[in-house]
Amino acid sequence: MLAQRLNNLHPYVPGEQPTDREYIKLNANENPYPPHISVAEAVKTAAENHIEKLGLYPDPDVTDLRQAIADMLNSTGGVFANANINGNSCTPSEKNKIPFEITKDMIFCGNGSDEVLSFVFYTFFDSDRPLVLPEFTYSFYPVYCEYYNIPMNPIPLKQDWTFNVQKMLEEANKTNSSLIFANPNAPTGIALTRAQIADILRQAPKDRIVVVDEAYADFGTESCIPLLSEFNNLVIVRTFSKSLSLAGMRLGFIISSPELIKAVFTVKDSFNHFPVDFLAKTAAIASCKSAWYNVENAKKIVEERDSFTKFLKEKGWFVIDSSTNFVFTKKDGVSGTDIYKAVKKAGILIRHFNTPGIEDFVRITIGTHEQMNALKNILEAI
């Protein structure tokens, strides 16, 4: 009774969300800080004062939200951890000043960046040539390749866990293919600089799209947003789930040229006119307007990440220096599964991937200072 295409699907497995017991959740890279109180107030007010809106279809183009996202990017430079806070407003750091204004026609917003990525795959990647991507990157990309019947050409990472950029470009040029990768990458946490991404764009096929998934860019040092003025084949994907503390609301967005954004709208309107509901939109706008608060949280997370990395190194763990809100780490003589199990038994969830090549590692989301102290105590015993 089932369609044949189901045989080809291998669904994405997210970090577990158990309901049987209260765990400290350091397994899904969610933000340990709740959204700003103004987000709750905005949702409450919207529901109370405009209950009739719940009975009406929302704005299919979420025009005011896209404007709020553009404003947030212009004021922070797209890297929260490096932005400056002045009272309730922000300015970008020197190295993240965007040399043009991001406008709302450069933004597309959907129901989580996973959905947005699905639209990106449908809009830009053909079935007649392989998509080039790193072997270890966000594990949803291969799932969408299967879903849309797009062949893949995964390129192994180098010994030091960085991308083999030269090989990726060679392969992309051989087949005139698009590229996709996360920057900073998941699960390694390693970031390419903007200059390195500019190099990739210079050498990649000009008539093919390069997608950079910046889910974690707010915890890093540089965004490739400024490159949009130079490269019309660049598509940047972002999410509200990590740096904006709204994983439960499901919001993600694209920053690209108005022409490419228009193409994604065509795909969205052929699938679901209204991926962003009225309350999610309200929450997201309030979150963008309290960017300064999210900037504060990103700075706290980065500080905690760096001190946790130092702790692990002192205890003899192998840690990849991270530009994200998680660390990817392993310990000689202990399997990744055993670390995961021991930590779970003590009430903390971390992420372990049963994937050959990275099965020794665990991925640990950076939590609050208290949560990290609890984790440190458990890890000392391993």
Q: Which residues bind ligand PLP (CB under 6 A)?
A: 29, 112-114, 138, 182, 186, 213, 215, 239, 241, 247, 252
Task: In angstroms, give the least distance from the CB of 221 to ligand PLP.
Answer: 17
Q: Give the dihedral sign, CA 222/310/291/268.
A: positive
Q: Which is nearer to ligand PLP, 177 or 239 (CB)?
A: 239
- Using DSSP bridges, classify how beta strands 210-213 and 89-91 pair: parallel, antiparallel or unpaired: unpaired
Q: Which is nearer to ligand PLP, 249 or 291 (CB)?
A: 249
Q: Integer distance in angstroms from the first to the last C-alpha of the chain? A: 50
Q: Which is nearer to ligand PLP, 142 or 252 (CB)?
A: 252
Q: Which is nearer to ligand PLP, 215 or 343 (CB)?
A: 215
Residue among 187, 178, 193 nearest 145 (CA): 178
Task: In angstroms, give the least distance from the CB of 224 to ligand PLP.
Answer: 14
Task: In angstroms, give the least distance from the CB of 186 to ligand PLP.
Answer: 5
Task: In angstroms, give the least distance from the CB of 239 to ligand PLP.
Answer: 3
Q: Which is nearer to ligand PLP, 143 or 172 (CB)?
A: 143
Q: Which is nearer to ligand PLP, 138 or 353 (CB)?
A: 138
Write the DSSP string, 5-59. Answer: GGGG-----PPP--SSS--EE-SS---SSPPPHHHHHHHHHHHHHTGGGGGS---
Phi-psi map region of 347: left, alpha, beta (phi>0 left; psi -120 to 50 alpha): left
Cα of 119 vs its chain's centroid, Å: 15
Task: In angstroms, give the least distance from the CB of 192 to ligand PLP.
Answer: 14
241 DSSP assignment: S
Give residue for tokens 């093919």.
Answer: 208
Task: In angstroms, give the least distance from the CB of 328 to ligand PLP.
Answer: 12
| Spatial separation of the C-alpha atoms in residues 92 and 83, rounded to whole Å | 5
The burial of 360, by beta-carbon neighbours within 10 Å (0-12 exposed, 13-18 middle, 19 or more buried), is given as: middle
Strand-pair partners of 236: 212, 255
Q: Which is nearer to ligand PLP, 264 or 378 (CB)?
A: 264
> Is the preceding peptide bond at 92 cis, omega within 30 degrees of 0?
no
32 and 300 Cβ atoms separated by less than 8 Å: no
Q: Which is nearer to ligand PLP, 219 or 378 (CB)?
A: 219
- CA distances to 53, 142, 183, 294 from 136, rounded to whole Å, are 43, 10, 12, 29
Structure tokens at 182: 């996360």
Total length of the chain: 382
Q: Which is nearer to ligand PLP, 212 or 375 (CB)?
A: 212
| Spatial separation of the C-alpha atoms in residues 318 and 89, rounded to whole Å | 39
Task: In angstroms, give the least distance from the CB of 52 to ligand PLP.
Answer: 29
